[in-house]
Amino acid sequence: MKTRQGNQGFVLAAALSVSVLILLLGFAMSSLASASLKTSGNELARLQAKYAAESGVDLAMAELQAMQPEAARTYYAAPVQTDCPGDLDCTYKIAYTDSTESGDVYRIESVGSGPKSAEYEVVALVIKGAGGTQTNPWFTLGLVSEGTVEVNGWTTIEDGGLHGNAGYRIGTGRFSADTVTASCPSEEIPASQCTCFAAGRNNFCDGREPAEVVDPVDVGDISAYLDDLWAKYDLAAPVADTTVRGPVYIRSQEELDAWAGRTVRVSGGNVYINVPGGTLRDLNLVLEDGYSVEVDSPLVVENSNIWASDLTFLGNAEVRSSGFYLDGTLAFRGTSDSYDSVYVADTIDFHGTSTVDSTKLLSTGDFDDHGAVTYSGETTVATRGDVAFHGATDLSALENEDGLAVIAEGDVTFSGRNDTVGIFWVGGDFRINGTKRIIGGVLSQSDIDLNGNTTIQAYGLQNDDLPQVDLLDGVYVLSRGAVSED
């Protein structure tokens, strides 16, 4: 009997323990369910506030689209706040910011509300188009980077702004900008990468963080765009009507004139031209693979095309309405002037004082400007490699709204005193080491480093070799994203 009573006591204790465990599990599941319902409710409230805020931005853009530019500019000179219609619990505010060559810039702020006092704020910068097809406005807003913008020196951005996906490092010196946006801090980018150092003086950091946060910028696929430029400008060699055996030495104008109006193929050797003050005109010159052209004296090239490995001008050169399509290096060792021409090569080198007007310079390797070159018109420098400007390069000529376009998969570096009217679309780092003024803008997939005294004047330049947008109707969104949410 003792054993049986003992077993009964054990069974009773076990049953009580299981009952308590079941009760505890029930309470836990009930608490989890309650917490889950609460979390779901909070998330639903936040989503309702977000949708209301986004709707407010859309309504503001519709307002801008319906108004004439002069009327919108006047009406929104001071911020105008409006309640969202219908059941949308939100307000939106539109303010005219400034005017660029691409159109008028407006700032839209929209705050949406939801249950449980949830709020969500969205800020957008948009351009109301001035009409026609124009260079994408992102390229003319100042400094825009998918990486970090680092400033070590006195830097000013006029009529434009600054955006860095990965934040800013403002070192010694002074920095100022009219408009500043950032995509940090966020969960992906810690606040430590979005910092203004104490030594720097600037007008946009509050508590060492950018005052305004928007969605990250995507500067686009530069590599694919360069493929299109090569297809556009890299002309295939024509079939020759005359074939000569090389090497070929040309020492008189009469010998040059004998080739005028023809397509000449040279096999088995190089071509050497030494006709001081001579003119090469109306010629298609095709060399077999591996052979080159060398010009030892001043030469004028007009309405002519050359296909070769290398092309070197050891003396002064003037090139008009011509094309050079090379597998190797194009080098100008003396003074050179180029107008309405196309250069395609692995490497392009300028040494000496030069003028380049409305010329396309495409390099599968690097582009190096070692001298003092003045660029004007819709000149384009496009390269798979790096671009380097050395010395006192003068890029400051502004004619109408045309500008230099530099499109590079690699880095772009300025050394020395350089001024430019141009737009830079860079896959690598954009770096200034020295004193510089840019009228135009910089758009970089990587970092922007300013290590000298720099002034950026945002300007709506036009260049058909950059991505274009149609601003005839509606508005174009420059940036749009959440500023804060509760």
How far apart CA 268 and CA 271 sit, in angstroms, is: 10
State the pLDDT at residue 198.
42
Q: For 184-242, how does the pLDDT look when each residue is reduced to its tens digit (9 = 90+)?
A: 656 566 655 665 554 455 555 555 566 566 667 778 899 999 999 999 999 999 999 99
pLDDT bin (cut points 50, 70, 90) of residue 446 is: very high
| 140 close to 101: Cβ distance less than 8 angstroms | yes
State the pLDDT at residue 426.
96
State the pLDDT at residue 196.
55
pTM for the predicted model, two decimal places: 0.77
Higher pLDDT, 112 or 21: 112
With a CB cutoff of 8 Å and minimum separation 6, the contacts of 39 are none
State the pLDDT at residue 37.
47
Q: What angle do CA 108, 114, 115 make, to 5 degrees?
A: 165
State the pLDDT at residue 257.
96
Q: For 71-106, how does the pLDDT look when each residue is reduced to its tens digit (9 = 90+)?
A: 999 999 999 999 999 888 999 999 998 877 667 889
Q: State the DSSP H helix or E strand holding residue 479, giving kind and residue range, or none if neither.
A: strand 475-485
Q: For 174-185, how does the pLDDT look when each residue is reduced to its tens digit (9 = 90+)?
A: 667 666 666 665
Beta-bridged to residue 308, according to DSSP, are 326
pLDDT bin (cut points 50, 70, 90) of residue 49 is: very high
State the pLDDT at residue 152.
78
pLDDT over 80 (residue 253)? yes
Point out the least confidently predicted range of 45-54, 287-296, 353-362, 455-464. 455-464
| 274 close to 247: Cβ distance less than 8 angstroms | no
Point out the least confidently predicted range of 28-37, 58-67, 140-149. 28-37
State the pLDDT at residue 400.
59
pLDDT over 50 (residue 479)? yes
pLDDT over 80 (residue 396)? no
How far apart CA 215 and CA 149 sit, in angstroms, is: 16
